[in-house]
Amino acid sequence: MCSELGFKSDGEAKIDDLEVNGLLGVEDSLAYKVNEIEKHLHNWERWIGLAASPSGETHRFDIDSMTPFQMDAGNDTWGAWLQIVGSADFPITPGMVKRDAHRILITDVERDKQITRIQIAGGEDPDAAVLAGNYTEFMVTPQKDAKQVPVDIMTGRAGTTVKGWARCWVNGQDTGTVDFFIGVHEYEG
């Protein structure tokens, strides 16, 4: 009878009936994680591209940019890191304190139909971010003149001042540019 009323047999409320404080609640609690998943699935998305006037490591993107970022692979290895988020670029929406990269739209490539590995890292230094595990990696085989569709990516949430970086590796090739935009989400807490 007690379980039908939303209580365990000892009289405590079941977790399903406890008040949720969302992302402002206790980090790593079940309520926090459920709210984070809900917010990620049902959130406003903004697309970022290369800033019209980038400024050092503080300003790298504009949300109204129609100019893609461009990264370049090395000689059958990782290319140099390209900074895509500056320390002063977020928040886009006032009051937001976290963000994540959600999707990538590849608009052009130098190497047609070649396996391409892409890393996106977050931190002051991209190599240190990789060593710390603060990066995501995915593989694509983009076609030069094909219909382009956004690819979902998964990254951790980062604070507004955390810098973002990207690099690529085109299998078996010496160089290989990838032009792209990034779709981002922002969060209150």
Residue 114's pLDDT is what?
95
- Separation CA 62–CA 47 (nearest Å): 9
Do residues 151 and 140 lie in contact, with contact meaning Cβ atoms separated by under 8 Å? Answer: yes
Q: What would the CATH number be for the domain defined by 44-187?
A: 2.60.120
How many residues are there in the chain?
189
- For residue 128, the surrounding DSSP H or E stretch is helix 126-132
| Domain extents in the chain | 1-42, 44-187
Query: Does residue 28 carry a pLDDT above 70?
Result: no
70 compared with 30, residue with greater pLDDT: 70
Residue 117's pLDDT is what?
97
Residue 43's pLDDT is what?
79
pTM, to two decimals: 0.82
DSSP states of 78-110: ----EEEE-TTS--SSTT--EEEEEEEEEEEES
**Average pLDDT across the chain, whole number:** 87
- Separation CA 178–CA 107 (nearest Å): 8
Query: Does residue 2 carry a pLDDT above 80?
Result: no
- Give φ, ψ of 163 to 5 degrees: -75, 150
pLDDT > 90: what percent of the chain? 70
